[in-house]
Structure 1
């Protein structure tokens, strides 16, 4: 369905899973949408995510059980968090906000805000997949969180207690029942928690491509170009591109992941957005099969059967947008994964690095601009971009159309910092 020429022109900047979902939602709602990215759709962080609709992973990273371990992690060359020394001075303001988000009262607020999004995430994702003819792309099995012993389980107890408080389904399993579900797991793993609603996509990159194809079939336009500035009158009137072209638009949605901060600054709305550089190893001949995705909190990695093989990831590196990849980070997670999966073979494997957009309070920005009429933000989804994509798209659509959003969006406003 091609939209009439007099329908509102909306420019969506960023063609990852968030931007693709928003562009589709707005085109479906009757707008004439152009989706703009300097790269091809889905080639950023959405290409290499862990394929999980991770509805139980909304806990703030600033909770004490996490940040108390961070100094030790950063001193360990194989620890789950790495900060390049040359980048550390630039991170100081971000880390101060991160610590401010660890106050008990603030943590309770952030947990509720993340839970509110995650309560909707699976249902919204299923609806979106059905609309684009991709319902079969979502697995029926959930995720297993592994614990080698009772001490590891107790160390992660705050996570379980938060899930219980908000009513998220889970089941505690002993070793024998666990191995009935996943025979390839090491015998030394004594316990697990099954999260049945933490489903996986069979190929998250293919999901983005299907979203974009459906968007285009409704009359949407995809442009490959770099946005360098904005045109404004009483509100937004368009975007300037690197080649000098000006593209007119009555609304602009900024959802360029970790690169959104640069654009927001041009509009006089600086946001404390950092990149958590994530790595994965995609193994196409692993020698084993898995029915579930698995995480091991004490070892800080995740394994997901996706994209025709098995994907291993889970590390965090703070080094900015410009530094060269350090693929030793990917090798560390594979080493950890083989502790859980002794028969795992690393054959026909590729390594990848991408930029997760991280805010210090772990809660995304889903908001109208506080300064420029017609500008909207959808960024800072951290590790949960795929999880939150369908819900974010629905909320942005409601916001732009002047409807009452399904959630109170004040906690996700851009000027909360």
Structure 2
């Protein structure tokens, strides 16, 4: 597909930026920087989109951004840690980083922290929605993009009531249009749920939510950026750093030294080790997730057309053309990417139970990947204490990497251009969140 050249906004004496990482966050950053007039080099030890971007949940959840660090975790903790069917599992290791991250995560499971994180994520997600629209229009990427909305389904009155409280919080913060619906109303929106209707009491419907194939978008971005002069250094693991005082001069990639005026670390779960090498600390740790991709029948009413999340199982279902992406689970297990048959069967069972007519007997292609998560769920965008002054980070997006990538890239580019990185309304959102959290205690 022919990709039109972008209008060059490059100022005289344009600065060179090296973006380390070619997942969706790094590629979106490279696209934004190139659009804003920077000369960009992208570095990765793998091909573009081969890490957490490859088999993610495919949902673009601009409105449903509740962080994993939530007060409800405390009541759920025994079941989450002990049940073999838990959507979350902890595999303790002799790893100080794992223990430190876990303790910070538990410390963040408070109403005030969760409310502030929700406000921050909502503002970033809304910015990301607009930024991704520009990206898709500019690149004309063929990535099975749909804007068919999303249903989050709840299996108990208590969980549905908690979801309505979260909806009220997000509504007060100016979040996107959402509605609490009865089971009958949910079935009218998504008839394919009829086969599992007895499992649910109701749902939250967000009409404006979207879905897309992140791996295909990464492929499209790679091609578009190459056509526009962005340099890619692939298959090259990062090595030594060359510094002078408070500045990073070059990074070693394979046998090459890549020089630049600015560097961006968008390295996914590898960002913590890189930060240590650069003299800084970022609280990012892997959360292992799984997905299945199934071919589904074309007949209406069998497979969902709307994105669906089963809140109890914490499993998401996203339609990608004639495929269905089934994704979920979270394991705090270090950097282990092995695909465990027990977890694959857990997702298969969820698919058969929620959409029995579409998924029974269907061959599924399994995948496992590592989501780079901060304890609060809020990504790190910009400079970090202790790191060289010209090194910026764009990392720690957790399960919302696809959703937040374009907005994060826009914010990072503004920082490099010396433009204030706090979007309009963010201060008011944070104040509202703090007030709501205090009133709920």
Relative to the length of structure 1, the TM-score reads 0.91
More displaced 10-residue stretch of structure 1: 298-307 or 148-157: 148-157
Deviation at 1:306, TM superposition (A): 1.8
Aligned residue among 310, 332, 339 for 1:318? 332
Aligned residue among 255, 261, 282 for 1:271? 282
Distance 2:46 2:411 in 1: 25
> Closer, same or farther in 2 for the Cα pair 1:176/1:204, shift >3 Å?
same
More displaced 10-residue stretch of structure 1: 215-224 or 305-314: 305-314
> Closer, same or farther in 2 for the Cα pair 1:190/1:53, shift >3 Å?
same
Match of 1:414 in 2: none
> Closer, same or farther in 2 for the Cα pair 1:155/1:334, shift >3 Å?
farther
Match of 2:230 in 1: 220
More displaced 10-residue stretch of structure 1: 168-177 or 24-33: 168-177
Distance 2:128 2:37 in 1: 24
> Closer, same or farther in 2 for the Cα pair 1:316/1:13, shift >3 Å?
same
Contact persistence 1:125–1:390 (CA under 8 A) = yes
> Closer, same or farther in 2 for the Cα pair 1:4/1:212, shift >3 Å?
farther
Structure 1: unaligned runs, 5 residues or longer: 412-417
> Closer, same or farther in 2 for the Cα pair 1:136/1:335, shift >3 Å?
closer
Match of 1:405 in 2: 421
Distance 2:206 2:400 in 1: 16
Aligned residue among 159, 171, 190 for 1:152? 159
Alignment of 1:53-92 (within 5 A): 53-86=60-93, 90-92=97-99
- Cα root mean square deviation, aligned: 2.5
More displaced 10-residue stretch of structure 1: 252-261 or 301-310: 301-310
Distance 1:226 1:89 in 2: 25
Distance 1:197 1:374 in 2: 38
Distance 1:148 1:173 in 2: 13
Match of 1:209 in 2: 219
Contact persistence 2:19–2:41 (CA under 8 A) = yes
More displaced 10-residue stretch of structure 1: 188-197 or 384-393: 188-197
More displaced 10-residue stretch of structure 1: 4-13 or 390-399: 4-13
Deviation at 1:182, TM superposition (A): 1.7
Structure 2: unaligned runs, 5 residues or longer: 430-441
Aligned residue among 316, 334, 338 for 2:348? 334
> Closer, same or farther in 2 for the Cα pair 1:60/1:181, shift >3 Å?
closer
Distance 2:39 2:23 in 1: 19
Distance 1:73 1:103 in 2: 18
Deviation at 1:177, TM superposition (A): 2.7
More displaced 10-residue stretch of structure 1: 321-330 or 211-220: 321-330
> Closer, same or farther in 2 for the Cα pair 1:220/1:4, shift >3 Å?
farther
Deviation at 1:216, TM superposition (A): 1.3
Distance 2:333 2:163 in 1: 28
> Closer, same or farther in 2 for the Cα pair 1:349/1:102, shift >3 Å?
closer
Contact persistence 2:144–2:320 (CA under 8 A) = no
SS of equivalent to 2:210: coil
Alignment of 1:1-400 (within 5 A): 7-86=14-93, 90-134=97-141, 137-168=144-175, 169-185=177-193, 186-188=196-198, 189-201=200-212, 203-224=213-234, 225-234=236-245, 235-243=247-255, 245-285=256-296, 288-306=302-320, 308-322=322-336, 324-343=338-357, 344-370=359-385, 371-400=387-416
SS of equivalent to 2:181: strand
Aligned length: 409
Distance 1:317 1:158 in 2: 27
Contact persistence 2:128–2:408 (CA under 8 A) = no
Contact persistence 2:303–2:355 (CA under 8 A) = no
Relative to the length of structure 2, the TM-score reads 0.86
Deviation at 1:378, TM superposition (A): 0.1
Contact persistence 1:61–1:67 (CA under 8 A) = no
